[in-house]
Chains A and B, each alone.
Chain A
Amino acid sequence: MATVWSGLKYSFHIIFHPFDGYWDMRHERRGNLYAALIICALFIESMLFCQQHGGFLMFDFNPRTYNVVRSIVSIAIPIILWCVANWSITALTDGEGRFVDIIMMTGYALLPVTLTNLTGALLSNAVIQNEVDFVYMVFGVGYVWSGFLLFCGVATIHQFTVRKTIFTIIITILGMFFIVFLALLFGSIIDKMVNFITGLITEIGLRI
């Protein structure tokens, strides 16, 4: 428990000192996987908070069609895909980071956007139309900051140069799409197979 708590406290070191922080995370065993996962969960919660409690002027919330499970899945899946794709790619491009490192790096990188999401969602309830842009700026800062952290994280934990980092990130994103494509393909084939077999069984059952 104490390590999780110190891992959470360490996240504030990382977001202000990304290179140093990620280096220590990778090499000095600082940071904690559970802490990173908690931040991921908080990030998802912050997105849900925005969707559900964000100001009426900025967020369209239709309770008739809103599905919280779908929301969670649609936020969590890209994070998981990112981790898997990044691990797959960096394993091929001689990245030094382990899968655990990638998850921790991603989790810690999501902290700024989590904080700005919460701030922005609260602020959006107290603004009028002219001030909406300020709130968008708050969100923008969070996303840019987190993006920068991801970049630093990939560069540091895999010991990449700048150019290789950019290249890896692009390939990782392509890899995410590729995984989705394969998953859909696999799903539809399995679906066809299951249909075929159940059809066969029903047919045999009817003849006997």
Chain B
Amino acid sequence: MRNRKGKSFVLIKRISGLALCALMMAWTANTALAAQDPEAPDQKSYTTSYWGSPAESPDPYVIEGRITGEKSGCGNFSGPSDIFRANDGNLYIADTGNNRIVVLNSDGKFLKEFKGADSAAGFHAFNAPQGVFVTADNEVYVADTQNGVVVHMDSLGNLIRTIEKPVGAVVSDTMVFAPTRVVVDDAGRIHVVSLFVNQGILEYSQDGGFEGFLAAGKVNPNPIEVFWKKISTEAQRNRMMDFVPIEYNNITLDSDGFIYATMAAMSKDVVIAEILSKKGTEEGTLVRRLNMLGNDIMRQQGFYPPVGDVDVTGSDLNFYGAYKGISTIVDVSCGDYGIFSILDNNRKKVFTYDGEGNMLYAFGGPNVAAGGFIAPISLAQDEERMYVLDAATGAVTVFRLTDYGQDIHDAIVLFETGSYDKSSEKWREVLRKNTNMDLANSGIGKALYRSGDYEEAMKYFKNASDKEWYSKAYKEYRKARIASAFPYAALALVAVFLFFTVKNLYARIKHFLKGGKA
């Protein structure tokens, strides 16, 4: 019965998918994209279950529209690399191929562009800038990649200063400085990610002086490789690959001033091992939350560490189509209360996690005909929108938060701010929309636990596969059960004791009456 229902469901989906595809194809015709087979992977949203398999969920975000350079009125983007949402709501796009920074308003209308920075000494023209950052007072930092400098200019495009390749004892002269991303924290410290630099994030002080490298990736060579390297000759050793730490590919600041940094996986095997063990380790981390000392303080309390897709073999064609393998994380975007999203260039999806590292949802996808991405490169968000920049199509896909996504967000915020009962109500709302949502079960369970209803809480925690909280609830439940059962148990013990005493006594008396000694 269930199967039949499933089949007709799929059929309906396919038919509606076809209609949708036809519509989308007509719409995207001007971008000259190859239309995809409607049977191809679609844009399903899902969460990852405790068992590591995708569990379909309602869409947390739906596509609201697409911003292209043509439509905005500034000419198409060419291989754009970065999108940044400034505090005033404007979008800054690093249009790398056209050597400019484009500023759009939140509706995607063109406001202005920077081809370079003006100064008394002359015009500094950008050369393939890959990163842009805007401070709270609208000063713009541009990672001017090919020029090898970070440009700091005011909101009108007047050069304030340039930040050059660092000098100092820890920097070799041969180091190539090709900044790709830049963020500036509230204290004015500047953090730069550069190509070919694997010592970590370059950190500059407020006045532009180089301070050092932050959070260098650890090298974790394979013991077998170390062994071979030990026994090989000098010439052989030179031909071997060096053990180098992995480079960061993107950084973002969150509202608390912590840096989220992403990196592509060093080794597929490390990430797969981490997924299988369900534990987050430093080696397999693809996204880090760094404090000022460069320590990773990312919480990893979810079923799986935040590495994007967990089902690495991707056997479920319904969800993945032809896409397999581990996620390639290219950007991270932070919401409030520790919620963050990462962008996967392999599966073309956005994965969102809460501050504890629980996966909330994955959305987006590779089906171009249905609004998917070809080469998603950058992610930005505001309260209700998510912007995904695609380097290949040069378009920004604008997603809008749905009721479902809003409910999840509200439930988390209410819990974080201490309104547990209200949070529980929101979670019930989420659960009504998506019975697969483990976190909702967990959230309701926590509220029940706080109200002292341990038995009911246990049910929800079990549904959520939340062993830690189940254990806590069971401990209290067991305590209560033992306390209530204790009088009866004691009574039974006394009864047994009395029975044997009486029996013994009876035997003695009988023995005595028969004339034996007592």
Contacts A126-B478, A128-B475, A128-B478 known; A56 to B462 CB distance under 8 Å?
Answer: yes
* 8 A Cβ contacts from A29-77 to B: 56-57, 62, 64-65
- The residues of B that contact A202 with a CB separation of less than 8 Å are none
- The residues of B that contact A130 with a CB separation of less than 8 Å are 471
Contacts A128-B474, A128-B475 known; A57 to B467 CB distance under 8 Å?
Answer: yes
Number of A-B contacts (CB under 8 A): 19
- The residues of B that contact A64 with a CB separation of less than 8 Å are 51
In the complex, which range does the number of interface residues on chain B fall in? 10 to 19
Task: Return the contact of A129 from the options B51, B462, B471, B478 (Cβ within 8 A).
Answer: B471
For the complex of A and B, the 9 pairs showing the least CB-CB separation, nearest first, are A129-B471, A128-B471, A128-B475, A57-B467, A62-B51, A128-B474, A56-B462, A57-B471, A56-B470
Is B470 touching A57 in the complex (CB atoms < 8 A)? yes
Q: Which residue of A lies closest to B461 (CB)?
A: A56
Bound CA span A64–B475, Å: 28
In the complex, which range does the number of interface residues on chain A fall in? under 10
Bound CA span A64–B2, Å: 13
Q: Does B383 contact A (CB under 8 A)?
A: no
Bound CA span A88–B471, Å: 49
- The residues of A that contact B462 with a CB separation of less than 8 Å are 56
Q: Which residue of B lies closest to A56 (CB)?
A: B462
* 8 A Cβ contacts from A123-144 to B: 126, 128-130
Residues of B within 8 A of A (CB): 51, 462, 467-468, 470-472, 474-475, 478
Q: Which residue of A lies closest to B476 (CB)?
A: A128
Dominant secondary structure at the B interface: helix
Residues of A within 8 A of B (CB): 56-57, 62, 64-65, 126, 128-130
- The residues of A that contact B467 with a CB separation of less than 8 Å are 56-57, 129
Nearest chain A CB to B239 CB, angstrom units: 37
Nearest chain B CB to A136 CB, angstrom units: 15
- The residues of A that contact B474 with a CB separation of less than 8 Å are 128
- The residues of B that contact A126 with a CB separation of less than 8 Å are 478
Bound CA span A65–B51, Å: 10
- The residues of A that contact B472 with a CB separation of less than 8 Å are 128
Q: Which residue of B lies closest to A132 (CB)?
A: B471
- The residues of A that contact B470 with a CB separation of less than 8 Å are 56-57
Nearest chain A CB to B231 CB, angstrom units: 29
- The residues of B that contact A129 with a CB separation of less than 8 Å are 467-468, 471
Bound CA span A28–B125, Å: 100
- The residues of A that contact B468 with a CB separation of less than 8 Å are 129
Nearest chain B CB to A130 CB, angstrom units: 8
Nearest chain B CB to A61 CB, angstrom units: 11
Bound CA span A56–B462, Å: 8
Nearest chain A CB to B302 CB, angstrom units: 16
Bound CA span A83–B472, Å: 45
Bound CA span A58–B94, Å: 51
Bound CA span A56–B51, Å: 14
